[in-house]
Amino acid sequence: MPVKIIIAIDGFSSCGKSTLAKSLARELGYAYIDSGAMYRVVTLVALRNNWIKNKIPDKAKIIAGLNNISISFKFVKETEKNTTFLNNENVEEQIRKLDVSNNVSPISTIKEVRKEMVKFQRQMGKEKGIVMDGRDIGTVVFPQAELKIFMTASPEIRAQRRYDEFASKGQIVEMDDVVKNIDERDYIDQNRKESPLRQAEDAIVLDNSNFTLDGQLEWALQKATETIKNL
C-alpha cells in the first residue's frame, strides 16, 4: 500500500493556497480539505442571523449556533469543483462574497469556534492522504504533518489576484476595498490570541509572486515526492 502523508499549507490570504492545495490533492489522489471555507460557513450563518454587526460578533449566539451547523465538502461533477455545503445546502458562491470576507476574521478569533473546527479537521485527517490549507494547519491542527508549506506573495500581487477573482464571478468591487480587506485580515490573522498565523519552524516557504500555477504545482509535487520517498 502506498505511503500516505498529511500536507499542511498555511499562509496569508489571497496567496493561492486553495488553488495549490486542490491541484496537489488531485495529482496525488488525496482528499482536499478547505479549512478556511469552514470559518466562512460559520460567518455566513452569523450574517444570516444578524449575529455579527459592524464586524463585532455576538459570541454567545455564535457559539450556541455551532450545534446546528453541519459542514461537508463534495466534488460536484457538473462544475468539476470541490464544493462547500452547509446543512446540505450548496453555499460555495455565497461564502466567497466580500461581505463574508470582511467578517470572517473576527469570527475566526472566537476560541470556541476554532476549537470546534480544529476538532472536525483532525477527524478528517486520521487516515492521512489529505491536503489541507489554512492559517494554523501546520502549527496547531497537524503539527505532525509530514510536509508543511508556508505560502506568501507580495501585497500588490495578492490584491490583484483577489480583485480578479471577484471580477471573474461578476462581483463589482473597488480595488481600495480589496486592499483594505487584505490588510485587515493580515493584521487580525497575525495578532489574534487563538492560533495566530505563524510559519511553522519546519515549514518550507513558497513565495509564489512570480510563479505560474503550473510552476508552483510542479514545485509542490517535487516536495511531496521527496517527503514520501524519505519516509
- What is the tens place of the pLDDT at every residue in 71-116? 988 877 787 777 899 999 999 999 999 999 999 989 998 999 999 9
**Whole-number Å distance between alpha carbons of 35 and 9:** 10
Q: Is 151 helix (H, G, I), strand (E, B) or coil?
A: strand
Identify the pLDDT of residue 172.
Answer: 87
Q: Please give the average per-residue pLDDT across 22-42, as a whole number.
A: 92
Confidence of residue 69 (pLDDT cuts 50, 70, 90): very high
Q: What percent of the chain has pLDDT over 70?
A: 100
Confidence of residue 15 (pLDDT cuts 50, 70, 90): very high
The CATH class given to the 6-217 domain equals alpha beta
**Whole-number Å distance between alpha carbons of 9 and 17:** 7
pTM tops 0.75: yes
**Whole-number Å distance between alpha carbons of 95 and 118:** 19
Q: What are phi and psi of 9, to 5 degrees?
A: -120, 115
Closest CA to 132 of 206, 15, 11, 33: 33
Domain ranges in the chain are 6-217
**Whole-number Å distance between alpha carbons of 84 and 114:** 18
**Whole-number Å distance between alpha carbons of 95 and 216:** 26
What nine digits make up the cell of 118?
480544529
